C-alpha cells in the first residue's frame, strides 16, 4: 500500500474528516498520480479530497530528481489553483482547503501526504450522460447547452489569466447541483510566462482528446496562443461527446479509417490536412444526424460552432470574425460564451 | 469507318478520380516502407480494464475507439465491445454505430467493383451534394476537387476550372489535389498549367506520384520534363514502396524506350510491375505492343490489380478476345469519367468485331458528356447509326464534330460520310469519299487506317453489287494482310 492510499478515517486541519476512498483506480493528473477520497466537515459540508501520490519516486533510480519533478509539478498546479481562487473564478473548480496529512510513520520518509480538498460535485458529464441513457432514456438539450456555456465560460476565465487548460474532456467537467458545471483538473495546464514541464510534451492531457495537430506533433509556431487553440478544439470535442458519445478525434479517426479500409497511415500534417478536412466534414455530417433528432431548429447553429471549434487546421480554428478583427484574438472565447448562452436560453424557453 | 483511338503516344497521365475511388485504390498511400506502422495492442489499456470490470456502453465505446486508433482490430474484448454497442441499437448515436460496424467489418481488398454509371440527373444530384458540402465547409479542398470532376464530367468546363482553382488555393502541396488538378488542366487543354503546378509544388524531387505526373504530362504534350534526373533517383530508391514507384517507373521507362534505349527502358519498367497501379499496368501493356517487348505475368496482373480495366480491355483486344475486351472497356468507361478512349474502343469493337451496331449506339448513348466530346467517338457512333439505316442522324452528328477534328480524324470522318452516301444510294459520292480517305491515309503513311477504309469500301461495293466488287475485295484483303490489321483478318476472309 502507498501512503496516499491510507488516508481513510484521518482527521485533517480545518475540521475535515476523510470518509473513504472513491472507487476508482489511481488517476494520472499530469505528471503525478493522485488518490481520490470523499471528505466532510463538522458543518456537514461534503467534499472531494485529492491525495498526491509521491511514492512513484521510490521506484525511480534518481529518487531525489524524481521527487523534485513531482513536487515541482504539484507546486505548479497548486499555484494555478490558488491564482484561480484568488481571482474568484466561477467556472473553475478551486480548492477549499489543502495541507499535509500525517499517515503512519511506517511510510517514512513519505509519511506526510499533500492533499487538496475541492467542493464535492454530483459527478462529471460522462456520469450525467450515462444516467440519461441508461435510466432516464432522455436527452436534456437545454442542460447540455448550458453545460457547454459554463465550460466555455470556464475556459474564458482561464484564458483571461493566461492559463491554457489543455485537458478539457467529459470527465473534467464537474456538475454541481446549484452552480452548474465547472472545469476541473489543472494538472496539464500551462500558464504564459510560468514555464512547466508539460509545456514540452507533444500532447498535454488525455491523448484520446488530442487535436489533429498534436496527433502529428505539428505546431504552426512556438507561440503560447496555440495552447488556447487546443482548448477550443477540446471544447468542440465536448459537443461531439454530448451529441454522439464520441470525441471529435474519435469521429475523425473513424471517418479516416472507413475511407482507407482500416489502413490510413499518416504522413505529415500539412500533406494530410486535406484528408483530415474531408474526414472532418464527414464526421460533422454524422454529428448533424444526431443533433437534428434532438435540437431541431438549433441544429445549424450547433453544427456551425462544432465546425469552427474542431477545425482540424489550427490556423482556421475559432470564430472567423475574431480572426478578421484587429482587436480580437483568434482564440477569443467570447463569441462561443455568447452563442452557447443564447442556444441554452432558446432550448430552455422551448421546454417551458 | 469505325476506328480505335490513336495510342501511338500513351503516357501514364494521372487519373482524374473521385476521392473515394482514389482512397480505395490506395493511390494516396504512403511512399516509404518505414512509414508503415504496425498496430499496438489495447490488451493492457485502461479502456480494456474498465470494459472488463464494468461492461457498459460508455466503456465499450472507449475501448472500441481506442482500438480503432491503434488499429488493434483483432482484440477479442474490443470486438465483444463493438458487438455490445450494436446490440444497443438506437440507444447509440449513428456515429457510434458506424464505429462499431466499421470495427467489425472484415478487412478485405478495399477496391469495390464500380457501380453503374450515373445518368445526367445522377450527376446533378452529386453536384448538388458537393455544392452543399462546400457551402457548409468551404475549406475542404477535396470536396472542391470532386466538384470540379463532376462539373467536367457533364461538360461544364468553366465551372470545373473554377472549382479546381479553389481546391488548389486551399491545398497546393497535396498529392491528391495536385494530381487531380494537373489532370483537370490537361482535360481543359491547358497542359502548360498542368506541368507548371506540379513543378511549382516542389514535390517532384521527393514524391514519385508527382514526378510521374510531371513526366507523363510533359511527354504527352511535347514539353520538356524538368525532373527526369530526380525521377531516376526516386525510381532507384528502395526505401520507397514498389507501389508508389510503379507509375514513375512506367513513365520513365517509356521515356527511355522512346529515346531508343529499349533495354534500359525495359529494366526500369520491370520495377513498374512489381506492384503496379492499374495505370502503370496499362502503360507497361502499351509498351509491350508499341516496342514489341515481353514481360512475364502481365496477364496474371490484369486479374489481380484492382480496376485494371484499360489494361484488360487492350490486352484482350490484342488477344482477339473481343467480347471480353468489350466488357472490360465498358467498365473502363465507368472508371474514367472524362476519357473518350474507352467509348471509342468499345464502339469500335462492338460495331466492327462483333457486328453489333445497336450495342455501339447504346454504349455511346450511355456515355457521359465529357466522354462523347471527341470526334472519333462521334464518328464511331455515326458509323453505327449509318449501318442500321439512320443515315440522317449520322450525318447530323458528323457535322457537329467536323470542326473539332484533326487531319487524321477528318479522314476517318470522310470515310464515314462515304458510307452514308453508299447507304443513301449515292454510290459515286461514296466511292469518291472513300477514295479521298484512303489516299489521305496513304499520304500520311497511315497504311493501317487505309486498309480498314479499303475493307469498309469493299463491304459497301459487295453490298450493292457482289460481282463487280471483286477487285475491291482483293485489294482490301491484301491491305489487311500486308499491314497486319489482325482484328480484321477473320472478317476479311469472310468478304
pLDDT tens digits, one per residue of A155-166? 999 999 999 999
Partners of residue B66 in chain A, C-beta under 8 Å: 208
**Is residue A286 less than 8 Å (CB to CB) from chain B?**
yes
Shared domain check, A254 and A239: yes
Instruction: Kindly indicate the confidence band of residue B174, based on its pLDDT and cuts at 50, 70 and 90.
Output: very high
Q: How far apart are CA B219 and CA B213, in angstroms?
A: 10
Partners of residue B177 in chain A, C-beta under 8 Å: 274
Partners of residue A249 in chain B, C-beta under 8 Å: 69
> Over the stretch A338-348, which tens digit does the pLDDT of each residue have?
999 999 999 99
Inter-chain CB proximity B140 and A274 less than 8 Å: yes
Least confident residue range of A226-240, A318-332, B422-436: A318-332
Cβ-nearest to A254 among B37, B95, B108: B95
Among residues A64, A90, A119, the one where a domain terminates is A119
Looking at per-residue confidence, does A48 or A32 come out higher? Answer: A48
Tally of domains within chain A: 2
Shared domain check, A130 and A82: no
Shared domain check, A188 and A151: yes
**Does residue B108 carry a pLDDT above 70?**
no
SS3 A171: helix
Count Cα atoms within 13 angstroms, Cβ side, for B432. Answer: 5
Least confident residue range of A209-218, B37-46, B247-256, B326-335: B37-46
Inter-chain CB proximity A253 and B174 less than 8 Å: no
Q: What is the mean pLDDT of residues A131-155?
A: 91
Instruction: Please tell me the predicted confidence (pLDDT) of residue B81.
Output: 95
**Does residue A183 carry a pLDDT above 50?**
yes
Instruction: Please tell me the predicted confidence (pLDDT) of residue B439.
Output: 95
Size of interface A-B (CB pairs under 8 A): 134
Torsion from C-alpha of B84, B85, B90, B92, nearest 10 degrees: 150
Specify whether the CB–CB gap between B366 and B117 falls below 8 A: yes
Instruction: Please tell me the predicted confidence (pLDDT) of residue B35.
Output: 46
Instruction: Please tell me the predicted confidence (pLDDT) of residue B37.
Output: 46
Number of CB atoms found within 10 A of residue B162's CB: 15
Inter-chain CB proximity A261 and B24 less than 8 Å: yes
Partners of residue A134 in chain B, C-beta under 8 Å: 56-57
Inter-chain CB proximity B102 and A262 less than 8 Å: yes
Work out the percent of chain B whose per-residue pLDDT is above 90.
71
Inter-chain CB proximity A271 and B19 less than 8 Å: no
Partners of residue A139 in chain B, C-beta under 8 Å: none
Least confident residue range of A88-102, B2-16, B176-190, B442-456: B2-16
Specify whether the CB–CB gap between B250 and B235 falls below 8 A: no
Shared domain check, A341 and A269: yes
**Does residue B116 carry a pLDDT above 60?**
no
Partners of residue A314 in chain B, C-beta under 8 Å: none
Name the minimum distance, in Å, from the CA of A250 to any CA of chain B. 6
Q: Which residues pair with A34 in a beta bridge?
A: A27, A52
Domain residues for the domain of A298 are 123-351
Minimum CA–CA partner of A276 in chain B:
B140
The reported pTM is 0.88
Shared domain check, A173 and A298: yes
Mean pLDDT of chain A: 89
Among residues A84, A119, A154, the one where a domain terminates is A119
Q: What is the mean pLDDT of residues A292-319?
A: 94
Inter-chain CB proximity A133 and B91 less than 8 Å: yes
Q: What is the mean pLDDT of residues B179-208?
A: 94
Minimum CA–CA partner of A291 in chain B:
B93
Task: Give which of A261, A287, A303, A314 to mutate to test B binding, by max B Cβ within 10 Å.
Answer: A261
Which CATH number is A138's domain given?
Answer: 1.10.510.10
Mean pLDDT of chain B: 90
Inter-chain CB proximity A274 and B26 less than 8 Å: no
Partners of residue A275 in chain B, C-beta under 8 Å: 28, 142, 176
Inter-chain CB proximity A274 and B93 less than 8 Å: no
Inter-chain CB proximity B58 and A257 less than 8 Å: no
Shared domain check, A148 and A112: no
Specify whether the CB–CB gap between B243 and B306 falls below 8 A: no
Q: What is the DSSP letter of A181?
A: E
Minimum CA–CA partner of A313 in chain B:
B139
Q: How far apart are CA A293 and CA B344, in angstroms?
A: 50
The single residue listed with the C-alpha cell 466555455 is: A152
CA A223 to chain centre: 21
CA A352 to chain centre: 32
**Does residue B337 carry a pLDDT above 90?**
no
Cβ-nearest to B96 among A244, A258, A281: A244
Q: What is the mean pLDDT of residues B64-91?
A: 91
Partners of residue B139 in chain A, C-beta under 8 Å: 277, 311, 313, 316
Instruction: Give the residue from B438, B372, B444, B360 showing the smallest Cα distance to B404.
Output: B372
The single residue listed with the C-alpha cell 456551425 is: A304
Cβ-nearest to A245 among B28, B92, B143: B92
Instruction: Kindly indicate the confidence band of residue A219, based on its pLDDT and cuts at 50, 70 and 90.
Output: confident
Instruction: Give the residue from B125, B128, B120 showing the smallest Cα distance to B367.
Output: B120
Shared domain check, A318 and A181: yes
Instruction: List the alpha helices (DSSP H) in B113-241.
Output: 120-136, 141-153, 157-170, 175-187, 191-200, 208-221, 228-235
Work out the percent of chain A whose per-residue pLDDT is above 90.
61
Partners of residue A278 in chain B, C-beta under 8 Å: 19, 140, 142-143
Partners of residue B68 in chain A, C-beta under 8 Å: 250, 253-254, 257
Among residues A69, A100, A119, the one where a domain terminates is A119
**The three grid cell numbers given for residue B68, joined into one nine-digit string:** 480503432
Cβ-nearest to B36 among A245, A259, A265: A265
> Over the stretch B339-376, which tens digit does the pLDDT of each residue have?
999 999 999 999 999 999 999 999 999 998 889 989 99
Shared domain check, A10 and A91: yes
Q: How far apart are CA B169 and CA B156, in angstroms?
A: 20
**The three grid cell numbers given for residue A324, joined into one nine-digit string:** 478578421
Cβ-nearest to B65 among A208, A273, A313: A208
Inter-chain CB proximity B95 and A287 less than 8 Å: yes
Shared domain check, A335 and A233: yes
Looking only at the bridges linking them, the beta strands covering A112-119 and A97-102 are antiparallel
DSSP H or E stretch at residue A50? strand A46-53
Minimum CA–CA partner of A207 in chain B:
B66
Inter-chain CB proximity A313 and B139 less than 8 Å: yes
Name the minimum distance, in Å, from the CA of A285 to any CA of chain B. 9
Task: Give which of A209, A277, A278, A282 to mutate to test B binding, by max B Cβ within 10 Å.
Answer: A278
**Is residue A246 less than 8 Å (CB to CB) from chain B?**
yes
> Over the stretch B26-58, which tens digit does the pLDDT of each residue have?
887 766 654 444 456 778 788 899 999 989 888
> Over the stretch B231-273, which tens digit does the pLDDT of each residue have?
999 999 988 999 999 999 999 999 999 999 999 999 999 999 9
Partners of residue B26 in chain A, C-beta under 8 Å: 260, 263
Is the bond into A109 cis (omega within 30 degrees of 0)? yes
Inter-chain CB proximity A247 and B65 less than 8 Å: yes
Shared domain check, A83 and A210: no
**The three grid cell numbers given for residue B228, joined into one nine-digit string:** 527526369
Name the minimum distance, in Å, from the CA of B113 to any CA of chain A. 15
Shared domain check, A229 and A99: no
Q: What does residue B391 show for φ and ψ, rounded to 5 degrees?
A: -70, -35
Distances (CA, A) of B58 to B53, B81, B87, B99: 12, 10, 14, 13
Instruction: Please tell me the predicted confidence (pLDDT) of residue A134.
Output: 77
Which CATH number is A91's domain given?
Answer: 3.30.200.20
Instruction: Please tell me the predicted confidence (pLDDT) of residue B30.
Output: 64
Q: What does residue A34 show for φ and ψ, rounded to 5 degrees?
A: -135, 160
Q: What is the mean pLDDT of residues B200-223?
A: 93
Shared domain check, A66 and A172: no
Minimum CA–CA partner of A125 in chain B:
B58
SS3 B23: helix
Minimum CA–CA partner of A128 in chain B:
B58
Specify whether the CB–CB gap between A176 and A119 falls below 8 A: yes
Q: How far apart are CA B53 and CA B41, in angstroms?
A: 19
A residues 18-77 near B, CB within 8 Å?
Answer: 25
Minimum CA–CA partner of B70 in chain A:
A253
Instruction: Please tell me the predicted confidence (pLDDT) of residue A4.
Output: 87
Partners of residue B71 in chain A, C-beta under 8 Å: 262
DSSP H or E stretch at residue B419? helix B407-423
Specify whether the CB–CB gap between A265 and A350 falls below 8 A: no
SS3 A126: helix
Amino acid at each position: 500500500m502507498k501512503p496516499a492510499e491510507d488516508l481513510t478515517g484521518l482527521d485533517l486541519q480545518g475540521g475535515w474528516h476523510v470518509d473513504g476512498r472513491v472507487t476508482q483506480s489511481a488517476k494520472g493528473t499530469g505528471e503525478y498520480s493522485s488518490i481520490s477520497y470523499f471528505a466532510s466537515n463538522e458543518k456537514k459540508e461534503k467534499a472531494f479530497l485529492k491525495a498526491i501520490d509521491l511514492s512513484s519516486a521510490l521506484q525511480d533510480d534518481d529518487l531525489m530528481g524524481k521527487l523534485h519533478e513531482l513536487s515541482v509539478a504539484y507546486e505548479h498546479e497548486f499555484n494555478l489553483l490558488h491564482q484561480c481562487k484568488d481571482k474568484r473564478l466561477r467556472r473553475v473548480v478551486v480548492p477549499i482547503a489543502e495541507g499535509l496529512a500525517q499517515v503512519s510513520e511506517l511510510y517514512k520518509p513519505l509519511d506526510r501526504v499533500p492533499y487538496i480538498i475541492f467542493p464535492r460535485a454530483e459527478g462529471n458529464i460522462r456520469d450525467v450522460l450515462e444516467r440519461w441513457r441508461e435510466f432516464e432514456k432522455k436527452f436534456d438539450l437545454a442542460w447540455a447547452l448550458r453545460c457547454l456555456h459554463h465550460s466555455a465560460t470556464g475556459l474564458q476565465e482561464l484564458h483571461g489569466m493566461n492559463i491554457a487548460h489543455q485537458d478539457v474532456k467529459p470527465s473534467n467537467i464537474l456538475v454541481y447541483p446549484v452552480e452548474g458545471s465547472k472545469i476541473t483538473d489543472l494538472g496539464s495546464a500551462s500558464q504564459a510566462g510560468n514555464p512547466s514541464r508539460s509545456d514540452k510534451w507533444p500532447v498535454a492531457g488525455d491523448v484520446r482528446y488530442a487535436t489533429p495537430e498534436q496527433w502529428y506533433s505539428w505546431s504552426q509556431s512556438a507561440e503560447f496562443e496555440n495552447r488556447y487553440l487546443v482548448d477550443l478544439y477540446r471544447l468542440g470535442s465536448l459537443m461531439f461527446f454530448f451529441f454522439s458519445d464520441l470525441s471529435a478525434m474519435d469521429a475523425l479517426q473513424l471517418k479516416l479509417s472507413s475511407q482507407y479500409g482500416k489502413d490510413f497511415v499518416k504522413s505529415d500534417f500539412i500533406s494530410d490536412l486535406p484528408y483530415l478536412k474531408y474526414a472532418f466534414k464527414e464526421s460533422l455530417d454524422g454529428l448533424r444526424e444526431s443533433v437534428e433528432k434532438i435540437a431541431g431548429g438549433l441544429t445549424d447553429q450547433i453544427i456551425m460552432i462544432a465546425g469552427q471549434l474542431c477545425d482540424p487546421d489550427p490556423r482556421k480554428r475559432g470564430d472567423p470574425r475574431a480572426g478578421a478583427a484587429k482587436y480580437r484574438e483568434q482564440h477569443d472565447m467570447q463569441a462561443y460564451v455568447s452563442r452557447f448562452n443564447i442556444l441554452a436560453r432558446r432550448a430552455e424557453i422551448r421546454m417551458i | 469507318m469505325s476506328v480505335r483511338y490513336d495510342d501511338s503516344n500513351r503516357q501514364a497521365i494521372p487519373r482524374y478520380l473521385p476521392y473515394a475511388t482514389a482512397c480505395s485504390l490506395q493511390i494516396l498511400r504512403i511512399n516509404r516502407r518505414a512509414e508503415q506502422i504496425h498496430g499496438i495492442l489495447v490488451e493492457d489499456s485502461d479502456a480494456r480494464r474498465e470494459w472488463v470490470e464494468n461492461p457498459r456502453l460508455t466503456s465499450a465505446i472507449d475501448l472500441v475507439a481506442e482500438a480503432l486508433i491503434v488499429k488493434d482490430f483483432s482484440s477479442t474484448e474490443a470486438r465483444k465491445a463493438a458487438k455490445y454497442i450494436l446490440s444497443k441499437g438506437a440507444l447509440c448515436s449513428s456515429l457510434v454505430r458506424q464505429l462499431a460496424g466499421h470495427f467489425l467489418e472484415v478487412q478485405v481488398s478495399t477496391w469495390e467493383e464500380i457501380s453503374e454509371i450515373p445518368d445526367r440527373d445522377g450527376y446533378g444530384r452529386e453536384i448538388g451534394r458537393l455544392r452543399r458540402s462546400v457551402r457548409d465547409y468551404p475549406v475542404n479542398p477535396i470536396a472542391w476537387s470532386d466538384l470540379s470532376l463532376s462539373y467536367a464530367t457533364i461538360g461544364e468546363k468553366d465551372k470545373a476550372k473554377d472549382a479546381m482553382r479553389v481546391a488548389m488555393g486551399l491545398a497546393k502541396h497535396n498529392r491528391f489535389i495536385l494530381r487531380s488538378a494537373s489532370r483537370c488542366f490537361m482535360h481543359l487543354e491547358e497542359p502548360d498549367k498542368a506541368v507548371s503546378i506540379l513543378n511549382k509544388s516542389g514535390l517532384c524531387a521527393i514524391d514519385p506520384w508527382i514526378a510521374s505526373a510531371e513526366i507523363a504530362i510533359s511527354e504527352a504534350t511535347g514539353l520538356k520534363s524538368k525532373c527526369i534526373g530526380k525521377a531516376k533517383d526516386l525510381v532507384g530508391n528502395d526505401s520507397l514502396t514498389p507501389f508508389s514507384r510503379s507509375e514513375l517507373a512506367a513513365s520513365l521507362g517509356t521515356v527511355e524506350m522512346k529515346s531508343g534505349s529499349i533495354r534500359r527502358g525495359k529494366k526500369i519498367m520491370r520495377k513498374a510491375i512489381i506492384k503496379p497501379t492499374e495505370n502503370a499496368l496499362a502503360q507497361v501493356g502499351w509498351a509491350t505492343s508499341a516496342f514489341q517487348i515481353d514481360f512475364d505475368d502481365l496477364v496474371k496482373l490484369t486479374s489481380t490489380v484492382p480496376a485494371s480495366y484499360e489494361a484488360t480491355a487492350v490486352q484482350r483486344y490484342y488477344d482477339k478476345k473481343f467480347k471480353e475486351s468489350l466488357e472490360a472497356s465498358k467498365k473502363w468507361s465507368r472508371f474514367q469519367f472524362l476519357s473518350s478512349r474507352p467509348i471509342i474502343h468499345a464502339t469500335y469493337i462492338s460495331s466492327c468485331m462483333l457486328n453489333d451496331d445497336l450495342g455501339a449506339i447504346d454504349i455511346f448513348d450511355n456515355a457521359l458528356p465529357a466522354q462523347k466530346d471527341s470526334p472519333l467517338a462521334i464518328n464511331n457512333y455515326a458509323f453505327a447509326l449509318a449501318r442500321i439505316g439512320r443515315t440522317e442522324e449520322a450525318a447530323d452528328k458528323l457535322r457537329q464534330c467536323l470542326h473539332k477534328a484533326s487531319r487524321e480524324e477528318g479522314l476517318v470522318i470522310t470515310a464515314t460520310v462515304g458510307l452514308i452516301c453508299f447507304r443513301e444510294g449515292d454510290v459515286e459520292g461514296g466511292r469518291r469519299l472513300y477514295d479521298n480517305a484512303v489516299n489521305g491515309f496513304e499520304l500520311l503513311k497511315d497504311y493501317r487506317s487505309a486498309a480498314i477504309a479499303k475493307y469498309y469500301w469493299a463491304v459497301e461495293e459487295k453490298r450493292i453489287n457482289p460481282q463487280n466488287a471483286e477487285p475491291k475485295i482483293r485489294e482490301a484483303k491484301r491491305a489487311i494482310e500486308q499491314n497486319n490489321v489482325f482484328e480484321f483478318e477473320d472478317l476479311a476472309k469472310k468478304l
